[in-house]
Structure 1
Amino acid sequence: MNQDWRGALIRRLLLLVGICLLLGAISGQYAWALVLGLGAYLCWTLHQLLRLHTWLKHHQPDEPPPDSSGLWGEVFDSIYHQQRNEQRARARLQAVIDRAQESTSALKDAVIMLDSDGNLEWWNPAAETLLGLKTLQDSGQPIGNLVRHPRFKEYFARNNYLEPLELPSPLSDSLHLQFHITQYGNQEHLVLVRDVTRLHQLEQMRKDFVANVSHELRTPLTVISGYLETLLDNVEAVNPRWLRALQQMQQQGGRMQNLLNDLLLLAKLEATDYPSDNQPVAVDLLLLSIKNDAQALSGERQHRISLEADPHLKLKGSETELRSAFSNLVFNAVKYTPNEGQIHIRWSGDEHGARLAVQDNGLGIEAKHLPRLTERFYRVDSSRASNTGGTGLGLAIVKHVLLRHRAHLDIDSRVGQGSTFICHFPGTQVVRRGK
């Protein structure tokens, strides 16, 4: 409809009134001529409106609107042009959708679209191969009904998808998959599933190699350490020139023993997903014991170690593993904090769960090192690690213990001001004393 439709309408009405008045002048019945003329126009307008209503109610997607003339002709023409524009837009959008579906169908990785409730809406052929989805019977089903692994259900319900999840395929335990979930739009979910069987096999080979080598080295190292200890116990019978060499050999043997113990502990932690001895642990008493050990480790360095622990908060898990993780954090603070420095240990809870914070005013760590601190054998300063007797596995052990307890580690550090290591535990792992 053009922009001067009001003017056209007024002109048509004036023309109609003029014709009616002319007929009235000829017949001498002005009133009846106006009534009949305007009535006829009203009936014609209602007829066109009825045609529009019928077309809107019963028309097919590609059926054009009815033909007409005058003002209603312009209305139908405008509807027709709008209809053509929408059809072209739909065609373009359908072409984009078809190309997207063709490209995702060519992927070896599974792509799955879920609605806000987690129900299946669409997936590519790779999803049928990796997860066993079936087009007809699985559409609209909740994803939890098809991927029934408890870890996946927990992962999906957590709504925290920063880290991917690795699980065996529902089709075969020998097929290992990696799940990435992204939320978009109105809380819909896009699930990407990748076959990582080869990587899983390589990782398992690495774990087996480390565990086997550690076990094999343990016996000869114990024998060597035993003979060194015997020689040093009888130092008066040893040539004085060998005394320093024997002491250094014993020291390095101790470091190797610590390294093997840490490697074996890591292998044990990686063997299962969750501690077998899952019992409520009195964290306040555990931290008190660790604090006393840390004070003894400090010795003449006279660190000021303080503890603030909520006695009502318990933590479900393995006390042995938690002691290993917490003591690693506290002992690291002692090792890398200058003499007479301050170390504060705090165990507290909130509406999100509980957290352990170990804060010191030591040397601090540069920001570039923070993302890699929990990697095996990663050291900020190799010379400093050698001086303190570290193996480079302490924070890796902390990370794996926390993962097994559904927790994660945050590190905040500034050079010259100190570091804070925070272990965040979800509410599902926390219980109140007496419950």
Structure 2
Amino acid sequence: MNTDWRRILLRHLLALIGGGLLLGFISDAYGWSFALCLALYLGWLLRDLLRLRRWLESADAQAEVPEARGLWEDLFDRIYHLQRRNRQARERLQAVIDRAQESTGALRDAVIMLDSGGNLEWWNPAAETLLGLKTRQDGGQPVGNLVRHPRFKEYFEQEQHTDPLEIPSPINEDLRLQFLITRYGNGERLMLVRDVTRVHQLEQMRKDFVANVSHELRTPLTVIAGYLETLLDNDPGTSPRWRRAMQQMQEQAGRMQNLLNDLLLLARLEATDYPSDNQPVAVEPMLQSIRTDALALSGERGHRVQLDMEVGLRLKGSEAELRSAFSNLVFNAVKYTPAGGDVRIRWWSDAQGAHLAVADSGVGIEAKHLPRLTERFYRVDSSRALSTGGTGLGLAIVKHVLLRHRGKLEIASVPGKGSVFTCHFAPAQVVPLSVGALSAAED
């Protein structure tokens, strides 16, 4: 390594030629002399080559470099330093891997690495506790063979995994797990699984409390509203001051009854993941009925409600729940659109599934409010909400109905120009009929 290899090779060639000439001069047989020198030189090279092979195959990584001279000394030295650099790099990499495995092993959350085909490559000890994975038997198995929940299959096959999925553990129905998948590399997936049983139980306690309180309040409210109605209808001699007070009490009792009805409806929607009366629903007559109700709600305000729909397009699900969600969107559009404004309802399908869009020409909503519109009791403007008489639960009901029907709600709004609420349903929820499209626009 200390001498240039070209000089070493040149010296070897000169020595070979010189030896051949000397032997040829002594023996007077130059051909055999050069052949003998070449054979000796090749034998020397073969000896060092065999020593190099034995050294490289040696199981001892710390074996000393064999003694050699000339070009072979330089080659042995270079290979030795290359091995040492590679060994140091492997040690550093192994230290990083060991540290990563120690840190993931200490996590309570499961970390699972999947290849591009969805097969198990690696997981931490928490995955064995939460999912029941076994190191030797489950390696290389498709994750769908171990987590057989239908909703997990749908979630895993999605292109984007923006929202987590909550399902029971495959080994313990009492455990509630949250799955979140992230894509990386060449189609590989990293799956994080968290035990959210405690959070789920607290959420269930909240739901049960709201449902029980709402149910218990219905009876006294019904009694109060009934007596108020009786007093107003059967006591014409009541002074105008008391009559006005009782009318206000009756209005507020009716508003509280509507609130309780919406709370109970939300409780029923959250009780199960999928509607029990899952049947093909004819959306066309439903939207026509909702349009008629919207015109009646508008009354003297004179809104123009237009309906464009694809005839023969049906949806799998619960007709009562879908009617509740669609009517909430349409009635909200009427309530929050100034008199004489436009409300357009559109129902259509494409390769991505079926869609319902409700657009209005109202005052619009600022962008900062859009992510929270489906929260319970969230108010963009409390004074305006009070004037419309809403319960603040309409969009929350829409959200839960869509979740139960494998759909999602998209909201777009520009202040001063209006809003568009669009319901998207997956192709699996659509029941198409071989009927052409029809535009039923009505003024």
Provide TM-score, normalisation by structure 2: 0.90
Alignment of 1:192-341 (within 5 A): 192-234=192-234, 236-341=236-341
Unpaired runs of at least 5, structure 1: none
RMSD over aligned Cα atoms: 2.5
Residues 235 and 243 in structure 1, CA contact (< 8 A), matched pair in contact too: no
Which runs of structure 2 are paired with 1:369-384 in the superposition (5 Å)? 369-384=369-384
Q: Distance in 2 between matches of 1:154 and 1:330?
A: 30
For residues 185 and 59 of structure 1, what CA distance do their matches in structure 2 show?
36
Sort the Cα spacing of 1:386 and 1:2 in 2 relative to 1 into closer, same or farther, 3 A.
Answer: farther
| 1:98 partner amino acid | D
Which of 234-243 and 222-231 deviates more?
A: 234-243
Aligned-partner residue type, residue 264 of structure 1 = L
Could you say if the C-alpha distance between residues 247 and 90 of structure 1 is closer, same or farther in structure 2, counting changes exceeding 3 Å?
A: same
The count of residues paired between Structure 1 and Structure 2 equals 434
Partner letter of residue 244 of structure 1?
R
**Cα distance, 1:10 vs structure 2:** 4.1
- Mean alpha-carbon deviation: is it higher for 203-212 or for 108-117? 108-117
Alignment map for 1:360-371 (pairs within 5 Å): 360-371=360-371
By how many angstroms is 1:19 displaced?
4.6
SS in 2 for 1:237: coil
> Superposed, which structure 2 residues align to 1:33-432 within 5 Å?
33-42=33-42, 44-45=44-45, 48=48, 58=57, 60=59, 62=61, 68-234=68-234, 236-432=236-432
- 2:337 alignment partner, SS class: coil
Rate the CA distance shift 1:67–1:327 in 2: closer, same or farther, 3 A: farther
Question: Alpha-carbon deviation of 1:17?
Answer: 3.3
Amino acid at match of 2:356: L
Structure 1 position 282, deviation (Å)? 2.0
**CA 66–232 in structure 1, closer or farther in 2 if over 3 Å, else same:** farther
Q: Which amino acid aligns with 2:277?
A: D
Q: Distance in 1 between matches of 2:342 and 2:77?
A: 83
The answer on whether the counterparts of 1:337 and 1:362 sit within 8 Å (CA) in structure 2 is yes
Out of 8-17 and 140-149, give the one that drifted further. 8-17
Answer whether contact 2:304 2:341 (CA < 8 A) is retained: yes
Alpha-carbon offset, residue 135 of structure 1 = 2.5
Does the Cα contact within 8 Å between 1:375 and 1:395 map onto a contact in 2? yes
Q: CA deviation at 1:36?
A: 4.1
Once the two structures are aligned, what percentage of the paired residues are identical? 70
Deviations 1:385-423 (A, max 9, x none): 000011110110011001101111111111112111111
Deviation at 1:31, TM superposition (A): 4.9
For residues 2 and 318 of structure 1, do their structure 2 counterparts lie closer, same or farther at Cα, with a shift above 3 Å needed?
Answer: farther
User: What's the secondary structure of 1:320's corresponding residue?
Assistant: helix
Q: Give, in whole Å, the separation in 2 of the partners of 1:289 and 1:217.
A: 32
Distance 1:325 1:302 in 2: 23
Alignment deviations for residues 69-103 of structure 1 (CA, whole Å, 9 cap, x no partner): 32233233222222221111111111111111111
In the alignment, the residues of structure 2 paired with residue 391 and residue 266 of structure 1 have an alpha-carbon distance, to the nearest angstrom, of 12
- Cα distance in 2 for residues equivalent to 1:289 and 1:51: 93
TM-score by length of 1: 0.91
Which amino acid in the other structure matches residue 155 of structure 2? Y
Unaligned runs of 5+ in 2: 436-443
Amino acid at match of 2:414: R
Cα offset for 1:117?
2.2
Deviates more, 1:46-55 or 1:146-155: 46-55
1:325-379 C-alpha deviation (Å, 9 max, x unpaired)? 1111111111111222222222222222122111222111111111111110001
Question: Quick one: which amino acid aligns to residue 320 of structure 2?
Answer: T
Q: Say which is worse superposed, 172-181 or 32-41, in terms of deviation.
A: 32-41
Secondary structure of the residue that 1:311 maps to in structure 2? coil
Other structure's SS at 1:229 match:
helix
Deviation string, structure 1 residues 131-160 (Cα, Å, up to 9, x no partner): 222233222222222222222222222343
**Partner residue, 2:440:** none
User: Which residue identity is paired with 2:233?
Assistant: D
Is the contact between residue 8 and residue 70 of structure 2 (CA under 8 Å) also seen in structure 1?
no
Q: Which moved more, 1:202-211 or 1:42-51?
A: 42-51
How far 1:47 moved relative to its partner? 5.6
In structure 2, give the amino acid aligned to 1:200.
Answer: H
CA–CA separation in structure 2 for the residues paired with 1:121 and 1:45: 47
Distance 1:52 1:309, change over 3 A: farther
Could you tell me which amino acid in structure 1 is paired with residue 325 of structure 2? A
